[in-house]
Structure 1
Amino acid sequence: MRPGEAANPAPPTVQRIRVRFAKRGRLRFLSHRDVARSVERAVRRAGIPVSHSHGFSPHPRISWIGAAPTGTASEAEYLEIGLTREVEPEVVRTALDAALPAGLDILDAVVAEPPALADRIDASLWRIVLPGVPEAALRAAVEALLARDALVVERVMPAGRREIDVRAAVVSAAVTTCDDAPAGGPPVGDAPGGVTPEPDAAGSDCAILTAVVRQTTPAVRPDDVLGALDVVAGLKPPVPAKATRMAQGLLDDRGRLADPLGAGRVTARA
């Protein structure tokens, strides 16, 4: 072995594929680690020529961007896979989707191009359904939050308590009733691929909060936003809310999100 040569050389990465996938139904309760393990197993089963790191314990070259919190659904999770040979994105999408359990659904795939995927995402569009909450109460709470210059909540983290300014992260927010939402949910023009969320059970006391939230460090999560609404207006949902991330991307000057996969995206058929 020549000096500087890897002890366990692996084929080089010749192509990278960026993938958008959904986390739906009961699988929203999977942790990020569980999702990562499921994808790694699916890559092996599908026979995708994934490249590996060097060394005595090689790992598949799969990178992840901004995983949704455990317990939240998502229509816009992203990963990037390194391949040892060039493969059509549609082949990767179809094979990986077939190898994953229902609820982890591969929606789009595209050949990676500069800039890096992490540089294409700085905000998320969240849809939070609040059964048992009147629209007027939610609207008043959201208006009170948006009127603040800052609103700090505390989160208990492994390293201790951390203060998070929720107001600084919330770019915009809108309120509708579940009755007013079209089938599959309210319009989500920012969500690439045109995929609609699961239908909600409408009722007289059921409101929906749709919010664009910057991805800060630490990330402001849907439960942080609900905690802020409790602080400003005493809003306490009687039953657990259901949060779905509808999109991720770069904020433009209109507060909308640009699709991080860009042009040439392969889109799953409905």
Structure 2
Amino acid sequence: MTTHRLAFSKSDTAKFISHLDLMRTFQRAFLRAGIQVRHTEGFNPHAFVSIPLPLSVGYSSGCEVLECSLLGEPDLEQIPQRMNAVLPDGIHVYQCYAGGQPVKALQYVNYIVTLEYEAGAPFGAEGAIRALLSRDSLVMEKRSKKAKSGFTQVDLIPLIAQATVEERRDTITLDLVLRAQNPGLNPDLVVAAIRQECPDMAPDFVSFHRRAVLDDQLQPWS
């Protein structure tokens, strides 16, 4: 059976919808749009959908992907319009296509992380953060369900493929390409490293935006 993928964005208040609620939202949207999809088997069948790389709550994104299997002979060009008519504000499907690369080929994610400072970016912040991300090693502690202590240590540097730092008046923007899986790196841990290692450069507010999902050649995954 063909695997289909819906490319969609998640913004505004929709970025606060959790992963499980997002899955339910799409399941209901298929039903309301009259689009037939493969369902799970059992006593309480529901539309079989999956999101290969769940997005953290509070993050916006322009490159989310949902996998499903459309039944019959659907007009893929019409699917986005039909879905957008029944989806909540902030979730917008912009393409439906037959899946190509396997999920395991999704190796990197491009994030734009914006650090905001109420009193303006601290003097020397851009250089300090760039130096931090250029270290040979940057070990941080993070939560782990597998570790007996509940925490494990991870070196961030091998998981950062690219990092660009740009300072403006009240913000510092990080353009990061991070490992997506096995293991993946959440950009929130990069911000935690800044707070820990450069406390004078700690931002007052942070926003995260996922801009692209990439393969091992840093090309768009599809």
TM-score range for the pair, normalised by the shorter chain length: 0.7 to 0.9
| Structure 1 residue 206 displacement after superposition | 1.3
Q: Deviations over 1:104-128 (max 9, x none)?
A: 1112221224x42x13311000001
Q: Aligned to 1:241, what secondary structure does the other structure show?
A: strand
Paired with 1:64 and 1:49, the residues of 2 have a C-alpha distance of 18
Q: Which runs of 5+ in 2 are unaligned?
A: none
Determine the structure 2 residue equivalent to 1:229.
194
- Distance 1:211-1:23 versus aligned 2 partners, 3 A rule: same
| Structure 1 residue 157 displacement after superposition | 4.4
- Distance 1:129-1:94 versus aligned 2 partners, 3 A rule: same
Determine the structure 2 residue equivalent to 1:33.
20
1:141 and 2:129 are equivalent in the alignment? yes
Determine the structure 2 residue equivalent to 1:194.
none
Determine the structure 1 residue equivalent to 2:220.
259
1:131 and 2:116 are equivalent in the alignment? yes
Determine the structure 2 residue equivalent to 1:107.
94
> Are the aligned partners of 1:141 and 1:232 in contact in 2 as well (CA < 8 Å)?
no
> Are the aligned partners of 1:134 and 1:207 in contact in 2 as well (CA < 8 Å)?
no
1:20 and 2:10 are equivalent in the alignment? no
Matches for 1:169-184 after TM superposition, within 5 Å: 169-178=159-168
1:80 and 2:41 are equivalent in the alignment? no
- Distance 1:135-1:28 versus aligned 2 partners, 3 A rule: farther
Determine the structure 1 residue equivalent to 2:171.
206
1:246 and 2:211 are equivalent in the alignment? yes
Determine the structure 2 residue equivalent to 1:6.
none
Q: Aligned to 2:3, what secondary structure does the other structure show?
A: strand
Aligned match of 1:161 in 151, 163, 166? Answer: 151
- Distance 1:46-1:235 versus aligned 2 partners, 3 A rule: farther
Paired with 1:107 and 1:177, the residues of 2 have a C-alpha distance of 32
| CA-based RMSD | 2.0
Q: Which runs of 5+ in 1 are unaligned?
A: 1-13, 179-203, 262-270
> Are the aligned partners of 1:135 and 1:177 in contact in 2 as well (CA < 8 Å)?
no
**TM-score normalized by structure 1?**
0.73
> Are the aligned partners of 2:63 and 2:213 in contact in 1 as well (CA < 8 Å)?
yes
- Distance 1:85-1:135 versus aligned 2 partners, 3 A rule: farther
> Are the aligned partners of 1:39 and 1:100 in contact in 2 as well (CA < 8 Å)?
yes
Q: Deviations over 1:196-251 (max 9, x none)?
A: xxxxxxxx221111110012445311210111223333355342200100000113
Length, aligned pairs only: 216
> Are the aligned partners of 1:127 and 1:211 in contact in 2 as well (CA < 8 Å)?
yes
